[in-house]
Structure 1
Amino acid sequence: MRAARFLVGLTLFVAVAASFLPLVETNVWWVRYLDFPRVQFAVALLVLTALLIATGGARRAWGLVAVVLGLAALGYHAYKLHPYTTLVAPMAEAEPVCAEGDRLDLMVANVQQSNETSEALFRMVEKVDPDVFVVLETDPWWDAALTEMDGRFPYKAQFVPEGEDTGAFGMHLLSRHPLIGSETIFYFGNDTPTILADIALPGGAPVQVVAVHPRPPLYWSQPTTMRDAHLLTAALEARASEAPTVVAGDLNAVPWERTLRRAMRIGELLDPRVGRGLYPTYDVQSWLMSWPLDQVLFEDRFALSKWLVLPSFGSDHAPVLAGLCLAPDLADRQNAPPLEAGDLEEAERSIAAARRMNE
């Protein structure tokens, strides 16, 4: 019993330390990865704290300290996660009825380059019938397969890596509505594109879609510098745009991360998950690694008519579908996060650091 109690207490101390370590301002990959599994940490802390109490560990001084720290860490996770429950008011106003000319249904799917089965995905696209389809991790195989969608989406912007095994992320933005203009930009290296597309809604209003897929932090070799700079650059694009803007893609970041929250404040972007739920999208093949990485964030000139995580189709990511309604008169009723002191300066520092890495 004593050995078991000690082992539980030691594991609890480790879980507490891992819970609070992301408070440190750093780009080190393994520290930032600890921000992802907050739900998993919360469950582990609850179980470990209960076990330590049940085995009598709380009757000893070190055990009591462990229990108090475990409860504090559990409270911290609850603080970080509670916005993604129904206990808070939704950040984005629901607008179930939208005029046809103001509607933009946008679907995001990371197809996973190693996945070469398109049938299930294409059947899903036919069923949900989005106006804009952002497809990530495409390659020459997927470029050829997506020609099947040309009749449904006559307008497109794309980047297709040349050859196979290049390590580059391909990206396609397919649209039912005309593209007023589009640009594929490589902010930090030629293997990670960002697509900026100005789209004309049927009612005539222009909107901007910023499609992004930053690289995740890589074990041992890549800190979060590039990813953070991509997210903050996308937010600055939204901030600078006169047209209502949507930032969509596999962001390789969870919504409660410090950098993504800063990006939302800079771009004045709404998160449909706030007040509605976690809606995890990755990894669909793992019950343990289950995080909301695929996102559609939008300015408060849009309301939300639908928000869905769609079934898996062979990729390690599940697609998401956001039904948006252009409704500028609802902006005052929505809760876009306000800019905080230091946000723009921190964005400039992050972007400068990424550029130095890319030199």
Structure 2
Amino acid sequence: MAASNAKSLSMLRRGAGALVLLLLGAACVASLLPLTETDTWWVRYLDFIRVQLFIAIIILLVLWLLLVPPWRAGRTLGLGVLVFPALALGYHAYRLHPYAPGAAVQAVSMDACPEDARLRVLVANVKRDNELAEPFLALVKRSDPDVLVVLETDAWWDQKLSALRGRFGHVVQSIPQDNAYYGMHVFSRFELLGPEFLHLFGDVTPTLSSGLRLPGGGQVRLFALHPRPPQAWSQPTTSRDGHLMQIALDARESRVPSILAGDFNAAPWERSVRRAMRIGGLLDPRVGRGFIPTFEAGSTLKSWPLDQVLFQEGLGLMAFERLPDFGSDHYPVMAQLCLSQDAAASQSAPALEPDDLEEAAATLRAARRS
């Protein structure tokens, strides 16, 4: 009987080990697939879950070591099981380490700034199906931004947001005529200079391009964007990446410091976002300060940073924070910036790599074809 029980336990252990090994292999493959040059939605979606895959590989590797020690698995299998996860974990660490707490900051903090050179930018995806307007309006009142970018608005939200018009002297909006999720409202206390909604590549998704005059007379360029996410079966990342490349190029050509604000539907460690940052000379306030996830609000497992405020070196960072939940599936974020020549002297955007402009041109060609 004891021998039979031991045999059954051994078989159960081997079966569990085989299952864990299968899951570990799948997690490692999923980790490395985004290295391929593709716009396929499910491959690029894997970029979102890097933190989750990193943790899953560690847990599965520990389980496998407990169930099937390498010296029992055989030299070849044991080494393979150790090396392949090590490669996947190393790649995750390479992508994620700038966003881990303790890493060197990219946007240097400023303690002082003249009042007339300050700018508070709040980004909020309200979720069109969310009909809890009062918590959001109260949040705007408490946080008191100078510029408010509101995403996924429709005619219902347009009516509710009219209560904010008394707080802001300048308002522009693009409301979809169909059942789309890509309405946008931008409220500003400061003068908007030549605001224009762009529909890049014939897409229904609006992108605002506007100058912004601060009280002290200084100017910045504001780009508010909400490109489409990778979506099952129907929506590759071609258009999204094209939006990011085009706006990065526009920011590169701007004569005044630029701000990119919105729900990028892309994690900041993705290849396309990092390339856009290099092309546009953009700083990410998350670098060295933590992941600061904004989607999905209230979820621990499905959690990644999609809502972003990036800016060029002529702007300094006074604060960057995620604001409380107000009923949407996104948390809002707010950046407090300072238009300052001193800021440009104390911080450096990531340098352009040799193939960045060529790759951006290829991305734009693909987006136009799509």
Q: TM-score, normalised on structure 2?
A: 0.94
Q: Look up the match of 1:156.
A: 171
Q: Report the alpha carbon displacement of residue 190 of structure 1 after superposing the two structures with TM.
A: 4.4
* Contact kept in structure 2, 1:184 and 1:195, CA below 8 Å: yes
* Contact kept in structure 2, 1:53 and 1:67, CA below 8 Å: no
Q: Look up the match of 1:84.
A: 99
Q: Deviations over 1:199-252 (max 9, x none)?
A: 110100111110000000110111110000001111011111101100000000
Q: Report the alpha carbon displacement of residue 161 of structure 1 after superposing the two structures with TM.
A: 1.3
Q: Look up the match of 1:172.
A: 185
Q: Tell me the SS of whatever aligns to 1:162.
A: coil
* Contact kept in structure 1, 2:224 and 2:262, CA below 8 Å: yes
Within-5 A mapping of 1:1-359:
1-59=13-71, 60-61=73-74, 62-162=77-177, 165=179, 167-357=180-370
* Contact kept in structure 1, 2:128 and 2:181, CA below 8 Å: no
Q: Comparing 176-185 with 252-261, which one deviates more in the overlay?
A: 176-185
Considering only aligned residues, what root-mean-square deviation do their CA atoms show, in Å?
A: 1.1
* Contact kept in structure 2, 1:108 and 1:134, CA below 8 Å: yes
* Contact kept in structure 1, 2:153 and 2:181, CA below 8 Å: no
Q: Alpha carbons of 1:83 and 1:190: their partners in 2 closer, same or farther (altered >3 Å)?
A: closer
Counterpart Cα distance in 2 of 1:332 and 1:86:
24
Q: What one-letter code is carried by the residue in structure 2 that aligns with 1:226?
A: S
Counterpart Cα distance in 2 of 1:63 and 1:311:
47
Identity of aligned residues (%): 52
Larger radius of gyration: 2
Q: Alpha carbons of 1:304 and 1:184: their partners in 2 closer, same or farther (altered >3 Å)?
A: same
* Runs of 5+ unmatched residues, structure 2: 1-12
* Contact kept in structure 2, 1:58 and 1:64, CA below 8 Å: yes
Regions of 4+ moved over 3 Å: none
* Contact kept in structure 2, 1:113 and 1:137, CA below 8 Å: yes
Q: Report the alpha carbon displacement of residue 188 of structure 1 after superposing the two structures with TM.
A: 1.9
Counterpart Cα distance in 1 of 2:62 and 2:103:
28
Q: Deviations over 1:259-291 (max 9, x none)?
A: 000000000000000010000000114221100
Q: Tell me the SS of whatever aligns to 1:295.
A: strand
* Contact kept in structure 1, 2:198 and 2:208, CA below 8 Å: yes
Counterpart Cα distance in 2 of 1:275 and 1:19:
23
Count how many residue pairs are aligned between Structure 1 and Structure 2: 355
Q: Report the alpha carbon displacement of residue 330 of structure 1 after superposing the two structures with TM.
A: 2.3
Counterpart Cα distance in 2 of 1:86 and 1:9:
31
Counterpart Cα distance in 2 of 1:85 and 1:102:
30
Q: Comparing 182-191 with 243-252, which one deviates more in the overlay?
A: 182-191
